[in-house]
Amino acid sequence: MVHQVLYRALVSTKWLAESIRSGRLGPSLRVLDASWYSPGTRQARKEYQERHVPGASFFDIEECRDTTSPYEMMLPSEAHFGDYVGNLGISNDTHVVVYDGDDLGSFYAPRVWWMFRVFGHRTVSVLNGGFRNWLKEGHPVTSEPSRPEPAVFKATLNLSLLKTYEQVLENLQSKRFQLVDSRAQGRYLGTQPEPDIVGLDSGHIRGSVNMPFMDFLTEDGFEKSPEELRAIFQDKKVDLSQPLIATCRKGVTACHVALAAYLCGKPDVAVYDGSWSEWFRRAPPETRVSQGKSGKA
């Protein structure tokens, strides 16, 4: 087997601070703030306008998605993604560093990392520790808006990193892929409600294994070491040498599974983009498992 040389999925705050200080930001290195928060809590764009990593642009996931879909955070088209990131000064030759301001250290950044990869872009990294640790370590911030020169980005969808409802449904029979659900245990089991949404009961896809994405992060908000991550997969009896699909509620924290596996040397984890948001509304009742009041999702 020929081992693929993997691009570094994480960069340190120290590396990014030094890159900014030495003037490396520009067409070859762009930084994105991909923060998103539940409605009625924090305001991501307002916080970005008040302070962000110098030179960072705001990546609005509400604008860079399929707004015609009835499901929550579905991928945009190739053309939509290409135009959107091109307007942020990103070309196919740009190294992109993504962070967010979540208190956990990282929440939405892995989703944007995966979006770039699924649209054929290899040189993308997550800022390890996020904006939380950038601030904690005293690195510079600014309120100055970033106005990069637009670039041309050609997006090419990599279907091997993306799974549809039909493919996950077929997999229930073929069992070619292991299926991992990254939500908190209570939501996976159906004993706790799905937050911020009406009409979506909690529960999980039959046959999926629960690996809460928070387990991949340290208390300080950094990614755990590859050795620690491998131990988590092993503990859940998830075989990293075999095909794997990640799912969650709306295809966001599932990307933490893809990132954790990538850090263990497995770059081919596919994400079920529709996730539970789609599955609950479309799948046969017998494929939805819940320990909630009704006994089924």
Beta strands in the chain (DSSP E): 10-11, 29-33, 57-58, 95-99, 124-127, 162-163, 178-181, 204-205, 209-210, 244-247, 270-272, 288-289
Residue ranges of alpha helices (H) inside the chain are 13-21, 44-50, 78-86, 109-118, 130-136, 165-174, 185-189, 226-235, 254-263, 275-282
Look up 248 and say whether it is catalytic.
yes
Strand partners, 210: 181
Task: Give the Cα separation of 33 and 205 in Å (integer).
Answer: 32
Task: Give the Cα separation of 241 and 251 in Å (integer).
Answer: 23
**DSSP 8-state symbol, 145:** P
Task: Give the Cα separation of 273 and 60 in Å (integer).
Answer: 18
**DSSP 8-state symbol, 217:** B
Secondary-structure breakdown of the chain: helix, strand, coil percentages, each rounded to the nearest 5 = 30, 15, 55
Task: Give the Cα separation of 168 and 109 in Å (integer).
Answer: 25
Q: Which of 64, 248, 255, 264 does the annotation list as catalytic?
A: 248
Catalytically active residues, by annotation: 248
